């Protein structure tokens, strides 16, 4: 009987201990679940921020690519304009040099012809007249010699005068070409100035956008690493939670088993106590029965339950 009481007391103590442990685990589960959910919430927030940054990064990257292409186009345009400018400068240099030489030739020819002003048409008309006279008229040798010398002199003057006029036309053409080249050069210089200004502006924009792009990339890297660390923490919380939930399930099963066992033990104890009480009453009833005193129906049933009398003795019931 003492052993049964000890068993009940031990089971009750074990049950209370299991309840206490289960309560502690439930509290830890709540804390872990809260920590895990908080970490998952932070992971979700960082993921959203990362998506937003990635969209910004792609937009900035697109703008950067466009600016880089524009910078390249401007650089190529600058190089082309510089080549054109060099070409124009070279042509201008050559044209000026040619003009200088032609002017020198023109002046030398002028000096050769002298200060007298000649009219090309007038010289040509005189030359034709002398040639006609020489060819159509019979002249004395002395006069013929004079005419021939005169023709040769006029031919020389005519040829040089004609060349002088050609040089003058060439000088005017070269001066016009030089003026055109200067205008072209001024236009190229202005275009180069504008292209260079735009190129420098785009170059600054490229540098600024590159910095923005790199900052976004670094920020994305930092947030990604932060998110992964928190995700790892959340996973760790989850693993601990899985272990605790398994422990909770095991404790609940153990608690249920101990509760059932305790209930059975308590029922057994109750039955044992009742049987002990009834046995005492049975002894009292048996003593009455043996003394020949009448016993009650209840006392008779108790005696029958403990097999202390046979049914034939029922005649002594009161």
Distance from C-alpha of 230 to C-alpha of 36, rounded to nearest angstrom: 10
Per-residue model confidence as pLDDT tens digits over 69-125? 999 999 999 999 999 999 999 999 999 999 999 999 999 988 877 756 667 677 778
Segment 138-165 mean pLDDT: 78
Tell me if 86 sits within 8 A of 137, measured CB to CB: no
- Which CATH number does the domain 2-265 belong to among 1.10.390, 1.20.120, 1.10.3470, 1.10.287? 1.10.287
Residue 14, CB-side half-sphere exposure with 13 Å CA sphere: 17
Segment 162-176 mean pLDDT: 94
Tell me if 134 sits within 8 A of 151, measured CB to CB: yes
- Region of poorest pLDDT, from 156-170, 276-290, 303-317: 303-317
Predicted local confidence at residue 121, as pLDDT: 75
Question: Closest Cα partner for 27 from 242, 255, 248, 194?
Answer: 248
Predicted local confidence at residue 70, as pLDDT: 97
Please give the residue that has the higher pLDDT: either 62 or 300.
62
Residue 131, pLDDT > 90, answer: no
Distance from C-alpha of 109 to C-alpha of 172, rounded to nearest angstrom: 17
Tokens read off for 161 = 């005068």
Report domain extents, the chain.
2-265, 266-289+294-316
Cut 0.75: pTM above it: no
Q: Model confidence at 315, in pLDDT bands (50, 70, 90)?
A: very low
Per-residue model confidence as pLDDT tens digits over 20-62? 999 999 999 999 999 999 999 999 999 999 999 999 999 999 9
Segment 294-303 mean pLDDT: 85
Please give the residue that has the higher pLDDT: either 117 or 299.
299
Highest mean pLDDT among 62-76, 153-167, 251-265, 301-315: 62-76
Segment 200-224 mean pLDDT: 97
Tell me if 28 sits within 8 A of 244, measured CB to CB: yes
């Amino acid at each position: 009987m003492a052993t049964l009481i000890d068993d009940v007391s031990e089971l009750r103590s074990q049950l209370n201990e299991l309840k206490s442990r289960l309560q502690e685990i439930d509290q830890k589960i709540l804390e872990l679940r809260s920590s895990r959910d908080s970490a998952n919430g932070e992971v979700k927030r960082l993921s959203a921020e990362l998506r937003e940054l990635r969209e910004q990064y792609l937009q900035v990257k697109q703008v950067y690519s466009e600016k880089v292409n524009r910078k390249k186009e401007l650089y190529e345009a600058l190089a082309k304009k510089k080549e054109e400018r060099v070409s124009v400068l070279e042509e201008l240099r050559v044209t000026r040099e040619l003009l200088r030489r032609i002017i020198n030739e023109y002046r030398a020819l002028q000096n050769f012809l002298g200060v007298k002003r000649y009219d090309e048409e007038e010289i040509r008309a005189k030359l034709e007249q002398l040639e006609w006279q020489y060819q159509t008229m019979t002249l004395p040798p002395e006069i013929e010699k004079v005419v021939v010398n005169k023709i040769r002199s006029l031919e020389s003057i005519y040829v040089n005068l004609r060349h002088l006029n050609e040089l003058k036309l060439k000088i005017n053409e070269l001066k016009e070409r030089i003026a055109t080249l200067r205008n072209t050069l001024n236009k190229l210089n202005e275009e180069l100035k504008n292209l260079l200004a735009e190129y420098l502006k785009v170059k600054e924009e490229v540098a600024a956008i590159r910095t923005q792009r790199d900052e976004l990339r670094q920020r994305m890297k930092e947030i990604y690493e932060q998110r992964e660390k928190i995700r790892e923490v959340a996973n760790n919380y989850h693993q601990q939670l899985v272990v605790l939930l398994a422990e909770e399930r095991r404790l609940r099963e153990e608690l249920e088993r101990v509760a059932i066992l305790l209930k059975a033990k308590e029922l057994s104890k109750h039955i044992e106590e009742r049987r002990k009480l009834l046995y005492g009453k049975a002894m009292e009833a048996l003593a009455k029965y043996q003394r020949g005193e009448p016993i009650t129906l209840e006392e008779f049933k108790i005696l029958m339950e403990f097999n202390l009398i046979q049914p034939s003795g029922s005649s002594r019931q009161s």
